[in-house]
Structure 1
Amino acid sequence: MIVYDLACQEGHRFEGWFGSSADFDDQRARGLLACPHCGSDTVAKAPMAPAVPAKGNSRKEVLPPEAPRPMANTTMPPEMQKALAALAKAQAEALKNSTWVGDKFAEETRKMHYGERDEAPIHGQASLAEAKALIEEGVPVAPLPFPVAPPEKLN
């Protein structure tokens, strides 16, 4: 597929997708191209900037911790940054006394719920189906706000 920036005689710009350069020429010659804004059939390729990928060895910009973080197409408000930082700090504090049980989370949580093992703070991984099943059984579980790396994957 080839994507061209196109323009009509009225100056409207739009995008067109073609199987090849010859497909564009053929459709234009047969009068099959029209401006979606005004319907003009006088359509030509518009100048366009090439899509040049970044060099693989180039440095990415690293924002200092106090810099506003990009959020979708805008900057995250400072209040949101503070709230997320507080939430991350609270999660880190809660996990200090918690034991990582990995993919045995559902099994270990169930054992505690049904009195088959002593209750203790644990965290780990569960599939969506496992989490739903726990909730349906009345086992109190909640997702962590931020992902947690297994201990063996930490530096």
Structure 2
Amino acid sequence: MIRFSLHCEHDHEFEGWFRSNDDFDSQVGKGLVACPACGSHSIGKALMAPSVTTGRQKEKVAVAMSKMVSELKEMTRKVRENADYVGSDFAEEARKIHFGEVEKRGIYGEASQEEVKSLLDDGVDVMPLPVFPEERN
């Protein structure tokens, strides 16, 4: 797919995705492309700079991803240190806390997808804790 920057006869700018340049020409020729702002079918392509990813940009992304994973690991570690592990009783215990049947506290444990959906439907806020590869050993 190719992304084109487009404009209409009234200088409204928008984007469109096409399989090829010929596909763009064909759709415009059949009147299938319209300006989302004014509905004009008089559409042209604007000049676009090519999107090129440099090694420096890739390195910045890798550093950002590494930082994000480190922060996620730290957040997970803090939750596990400061909350009670309730194992497979998580859904039941979360409901008790939510409805004031037991003292409010941080918990973590396991829950099935169905249990999580049911908790969310009941208005219980839950968030999955990631399990990192090195924790599976």
TM-score by length of 2: 0.48
Structure number with larger C-alpha Rg: 1
TM-score by length of 1: 0.44
